[in-house]
A and B are shown apart, each in its own frame.
Chain A
Amino acid sequence: MAFMKMTSPHTTRAGDTGDVMKQVILACVPGLITLSYFFGPGTLINVVMASITAIACEAAVLKLRNRPVGFFLKDYSAVVTGVLLGLALPPYCPWWIVVVGTASAIILAKHLYGGMGYNPFNPAMVGYVILLISFPVEMTQWAIPRTMLEDGQGPLGPWIALQHIFTGAGSIDAFTGATPLDVFKHNNSQLVEHLYNSEPIFATGRWAGAGWEWVNLAFLLGGVYLLYRKIFTWHTPVSMLATIFILSLAFYDGGSSHSGGSPYFHLLSGATMLGAFFIATDPVSSAVSTKGRLFYGAGIGILVYVIRVWGNYPDAVAFAVLLMNFAAPFIDYYTLPRTYGHDKARRATEKKD
């Protein structure tokens, strides 16, 4: 009988970065399909443009820094940044929005910090926030879902969409409107029931605004798939969603839009699910320890709710994630797990007595 001579690790499953990133891209597909179904081909065009820009910027910076270009491109992390930013951007925004956002995400937020594995902020969200603050007009024009289109009017065709994105030709005002979170932001002294009946975005939807509820459920599906594949642990998304749920339950008085909307509404609108499963779980910029992830997720949940309900911006996932990215090293510092063999947690760099 011959024994095979093998040293550890004995795991057979490939687990490199590229593999993880490919799973994340795969898990984005349901959300992308739902977005394209409800809002037309704009998001798909965004994702393609952002991915190409991301790869180009990544290759250019790696070339400048004399790093192996092929090796780093194959880990797909730049593509993931591009895909996530493309999903978050409003459909049919001008092409330069996508390019500027992706370039600042890859160059400013990722490679100035040393590239893959060193970025303290989530690159896609840095790109998004820079765009939101610099170009508020272009960034707040969301397409309307197909349920709101008049009879006989189809969603924007890909050809017209491309023409509009690249040349600005043709008006698409008929295809843009307020998102459910916008509606709540601008009508803070009405009955929720009244809003649900009078605003077409709610009237043609089911629970939390036409289109948006399905988009969020699709991202939830993708997120559950990633959890099943053990790409990340449950702590961050569950604690973030639970915090949003508890806060919206605590402040919702059941009737007036002043009190911020029902838990369903907050969980199924805007970027809640995309943020919880795809943005907040970024392994580089989030907290590392188990306990730290719970605090980190809860912090994002609190900030999302506070800014949505009392702040100026209708959605807050990008801001909340950046703010908690800022706090993540501090959270890690105070939630060090105990090392086996020690009585209490201590830092590796700590001086010995």
Chain B
Amino acid sequence: MTDFVVILISTILVNNFVLVQFLGLCPFMGVSNKLETAIGMGGATTFVLTLASICSYLVHNFILAPLGLEYLKTIAFILVIAVVVQFAKMFIEKTSPLLYRVLGVFLPLITTNCAVLGVALQNTAKAHTFTESALYGFGAALGFSFVLILFSAMRERLAVADVPVPFKGAAIGMITAGLMSLAFMGFSGLV
């Protein structure tokens, strides 16, 4: 039980995928202009990431490992992630057409979210068990959604700030993300 709490705290705060490991920066910068969109994107990514880390665990341990094909894991994981994203896309299209429209191109782009592949690869590198893998993916997605949502609320405010022209838009967003990542260093040593 304690292990699980440690994994969650570690992935959400201490080793936050966006602000500490710098994975998944593309949707972090791209979908953070509006709070509602960010919440939708956070939900979709959580769904995909958890499912993808479970599936990639199964693929790795029951297909690749017995056949001695571990060197294929990167390409196999990319395939698994693409399938899971396609599944999530269909799922969201049926359950929430509005969110589907709002997310638009960013939904298929979860495929190229390096955090998803990063979680799958780290799971095998750290030799996580099934539950640990699922929780690691879930925690990573929670950490991603957490900072994405907070960041989007802040960017709504930055949009009306009197930012110097050369720093408008993505530039000031990057600087804000950098300052946030400094603040997240305060969590180091928690677990």
Name A's B-contacting residues (CB within 8 A): 65, 108-109, 111-115, 118, 120-121, 126, 129-130, 133, 303, 306-307, 310-313, 316, 318-320, 322-323, 326-327, 329-330, 332-333
Contacts and interface: CB of A to CB of B under 8 A. Distances in A.
Interface residues of B, number: 28
A311 B182 contact: no
A37 to B, nearest CB: 30
Contact of B175 (A112, A130, A330): A112
Contacts of B59: none
A322 B164 contact: no
Interface of B: 35, 149-151, 153-154, 156-158, 161-164, 167, 172, 175-176, 179-180, 182-190
B163 A307 contact: no
Contacts of A311: 186-190
B90 to A, nearest CB: 29
Given A112-B164, A323-B186, 13 more contacts: A109-B179, A120-B157, A120-B158, A126-B179, A126-B182, A130-B182, A307-B190, A311-B186, A313-B188, A313-B189, A326-B183, A329-B154, A333-B35
Nearest to B154: A329
18 contacts: A108-B179, A109-B179, A112-B163, A112-B167, A113-B158, A113-B161, A114-B161, A121-B179, A306-B190, A310-B190, A311-B187, A313-B186, A319-B185, A319-B186, A320-B186, A326-B154, A329-B150, A330-B154
Nearest to B191: A310
A323 B162 CA distance: 23
Contacts of B153: 329-330, 332-333
B183 A118 contact: no
Select the residue from A108, A126, A329 with max chain B CB neighbours within 10 A. A329
Given A114-B161, A326-B150, A333-B153, A120 B176 contact: yes
A326 B163 CA distance: 18
B186 A327 contact: no
B184 A323 contact: yes
Contacts of B164: 65, 111-112, 114
Nearest to B157: A329
A307 B188 CA distance: 9
Contacts, number: 87
A306 B9 CA distance: 12
A266 B150 CA distance: 29
A185 B182 CA distance: 21
Contacts of A120: 154, 157-158, 176
A64 B175 CA distance: 20
Given A112-B164, A329-B154, A322 B172 contact: no
Given A126-B179, A326-B150, A329-B153, A114 B187 contact: no
Nearest to A313: B186
A115 B161 CA distance: 9
Contacts of A306: 190
A118 B188 CA distance: 29
B182 A112 contact: no
Nearest to A322: B183
A59 to B, nearest CB: 16
Nearest to A325: B183
B187 A112 contact: no
A316 B163 CA distance: 29
A223 B35 CA distance: 35
